[in-house]
Amino acid sequence: MDFGLSEEHAALQEVARKFVDRHCPPARAKEWDEAGAYPEELFKAIAEMGWFGLPFPAEAGGDDGGAVELALIAEQLGRASLDIAMCYIGTLIPSLTVYKWGTDAHRADITERMLTGRSRYAVAMSEPDTGSDAAALRCRAEDKGDHFLLNGQKMWCTGAGLPGTTIMMYVRTSKGDRKHDGISLMLVDADAPGVELRQQPTLARHILGTYEVYLTDVVVPKANLVGGQDEAWKVMLSNLELERVLMSGGYVGVAQATLDEALDYSKQRVAFDRPVGTFQSLAHAMADMQVEIDSARLLAYRAAWRLAAGLPASREGAMAKLKGSETYVAAARLGMQICAGHGFSTESVMSFRWRESIVAPISGGTSQIQRNGIARSMGLRSY
């Protein structure tokens, strides 16, 4: 058993750490969040590092990288903010999905535009009436011979409004015996005729933005179908484990950064003639939080290692997602208490951490849904 990083992994971690210090330190991430800014230069810088291409095969311009490398990058990007980690994960995972299930033309497009940071994907599963119960989606696509005609509404589509975005639209093409049947995936340009976006007002996630997507008689050529018609449920699930692992990496990074910031503050802030961090109540709380973060990190690394080794990681991925997301919420809540009045000021980075932490146990599958999966793996049918 070996709990250390290899030399290569340690070097990658260091490069990613420096990347964040240079391109997206937390205070800059907060500014982008508040301005709702699109950090085009960040996407380009990530692409220039070769990180969007990392897990792709060499013939696609990639490096055949695995889950451990990707999780290490996500962890460091998470130090900036969850939203910054999602700039990476939210582009990478859909690209991998389309690459796996798409046509040669889709793959060529990924190599030319996605891996170079010129374009990106957004994913539209959720609708006003369906979130956790994704298979209940109702947006419909009528088969019109050489094209589909789309009508309906999507919700919470992260990044749909960023320039050059193609939306991976999960729609109902037929009514099967089960709700999981009859779903298809098609690629729809966010600026196609009949597509209307409205940015949702949210507590955070303002860098990527989350959007309602209204579809009115949108014409989608059959060439835009990814995977078989009516068969997208398996497509949807195909990268779920990797997505959870990478999100877990992001949570661990941002939770650690949050605790580090609270710790620094507690060493400098003086009350009753001593640094507040030396009050045992705060010192123990921070010690406990470090234990929580280390636990989350170990779970994330274990899940990444299993995926890289080609082992099943559904249960481990769910555990890592559950623990990492809840730990970020707890770290941000503790950070606010330690920074006290300074944290409550919206000028503080801690207030940004707290604001954006709330979404961690919601998006990408809620904590309850992760627990359901873990309970199922224990032979319990949990509702």
Ligand X SMILES: Cc1cc2nc3c(=O)[nH]c(=O)nc-3n(C[C@H](O)[C@H](O)[C@H](O)COP(=O)(O)OP(=O)(O)OC[C@H]3O[C@@H](n4cnc5c(N)ncnc54)[C@H](O)[C@@H]3O)c2cc1C
Structure tokens at 41: 């230069």
Q: Is 205 a binder of ligand X (CB under 6 A)?
A: yes
Q: Is 233 a binder of ligand X (CB under 6 A)?
A: no
SS3 176: coil
Q: Is 337 a binder of ligand X (CB under 6 A)?
A: no
Closest approach of ligand X to the CB of residue 205, in Å? 4
Closest approach of ligand X to the CB of residue 340, in Å? 28
Which CB atom, from 45 or from 375, has the smaller least distance to ligand X?
A: 375
Of 247, 372, 373, 374, the one binding ligand X (CB under 6 A) is 372
Q: Is 24 a binder of ligand X (CB under 6 A)?
A: no
Q: What residue is closest to ligand X based on CB?
A: 131
- Give 127's DSSP letter: B
Closest approach of ligand X to the CB of residue 284, in Å? 31
Stretch that binds ligand X, among 50-58, 202-210, 243-251, 313-321 (CB under 6 A): 202-210
Binding mask 26-65 for ligand X (x = CB under 6 A): ----------------------------------------
Of 363, 375, 376, 377, the one binding ligand X (CB under 6 A) is 363
Distance of CA 94 to the CA centre of its chain: 11
Q: Is 278 a binder of ligand X (CB under 6 A)?
A: no
- Alpha-carbon span 305 to 151, nearest angstrom: 42
Which CB atom, from 151 or from 337, has the smaller least distance to ligand X?
A: 151
Binding mask 120-159 for ligand X (x = CB under 6 A): ---xxxx----xx-----------------------xxx-
Give the number of other CB atoms < 10 A from CB of residue 290: 15
Q: Is 359 a binder of ligand X (CB under 6 A)?
A: yes
Closest approach of ligand X to the CB of residue 1, in Å? 35
The site for ligand X, by CB under 6 A, has a size of 20
- Give 6's DSSP letter: P
> From start to end of 200-253, where are the E strands?
210-221, 225-226
Closest approach of ligand X to the CB of residue 185, in Å? 12
Q: Is 239 a binder of ligand X (CB under 6 A)?
A: no
- Alpha-carbon span 172 to 137, nearest angstrom: 7
Which CB atom, from 219 or from 362, has the smaller least distance to ligand X?
A: 362
Closest approach of ligand X to the CB of residue 128, in Å? 9
- Please report, as ranges, the residues that interact with ligand X according to CB under 6 A: 123-126, 131-132, 156-158, 202, 205, 210, 359, 362-363, 365-366, 368-369, 372
